[in-house]
Chains A and B, each alone.
Chain A
């Protein structure tokens, strides 16, 4: 796609996510990509920028500002409209699932906005996946730390070796059909309370 003459505005409460989309649109050849802050003066900023397309995350409270700038209101120089493709509900679902809505200036052809939406969907989904992996990794790290502490407590209280302490934790978890980290958390909490 070479859309060197297009200006796309990106509005997203998450700056990291906005940056990822900005980069994706640039890589696809969009001429001008501008990330706008999600602030009270958004109307003025959009009016000044005169974008062809505004991609805004569903989490942004500023969406209603764009709706006011649309054709249903008077006094708007270049009315924008939410992009709704009634012939393609799958696309609509995919966009909303990914957290995207797009507003286009009247007259922009559907195929041009669609390629921008495709990029936005891919980028936002990739971002969501990264976030999920990161939070899982954080969870695993936290679990490992808990298990280490619980092992330490068992070792000093019962005079066990590290290996024996771990085996006790694992056996307890298996008997109670719970995760080792849950057993470890119980031990650590109890030790905190009693210690």
Chain B
């Protein structure tokens, strides 16, 4: 299992559209993806779950990835954060 923390760096935070981008990436991998924000947790392949996290701009989210392709999944998800969810 891989675990890492990222800051939500896009302008408006993890809203429905950004959550959609996240899901599109996570769904390409067979690994399980879990996203934690404060007390809340969401399946990284659920757009509604991610949007319910209320992770605003600047929020720290912890991401756990577990599965055969976890290393590749991490790379892709980190790239998405780097690109600020293709938003700005």
Same assembly: no
Taking Cβ atoms with an 8 Å cutoff, the residues of A that contact B are none
Taking Cβ atoms with an 8 Å cutoff, the residues of B that contact A are none
